[in-house]
Amino acid sequence: MTDYQRLKEIIGKADEISYHAMDKDYFNDVYRLKRALDLTARALSMFAKMEKERLEGEIVTHNPMEYVEARLCTARYYVMSPTKDGKWIDSPKPFKKE
């Protein structure tokens, strides 16, 4: 897969995260929404670092595209997965809502 195709996929995933975050009722899912926002911000930061390194002529020894894709996929999980009920969040790190 070329960088161009991967960038198109990343754009699609980011758009999907945005759509679902704005479309669903997250009144009881504050943790889920905050986690998705954190992961998306980290992906954006890595993308900016990657572009900065390229502009400075540095050799990128790691594959930041995989990092960005993984963060966006996890963020997508948080906005796409439904909760079991309004008290418990069905996520890797659940906590009880009062």
**Residue 57: which region, alpha, beta or left (left: phi > 0; alpha: psi -120 to 50)?**
left
Distance separating alpha carbons of residues 51 and 65, to the nearest angstrom: 11
DSSP string, 2-47: -HHHHHHHHHHHHHHHHHHHHHS--TT-HHHHHHHHHHHHHHHHHH
The pLDDT value given to residue 26: 60
Length of the chain: 98
Q: Tell me: the pLDDT tens digits for 19-68?
A: 777 766 666 667 777 777 888 888 888 887 887 887 888 887 777 778 78
pTM: 0.57
pLDDT band for 87, please (50, 70, 90 cuts).
very low
Given a cut of 50, is residue 17 above it in pLDDT? yes
Given a cut of 70, is residue 85 above it in pLDDT? no
CA dihedral 63, 55, 16, 38 (to 10 degrees): 80
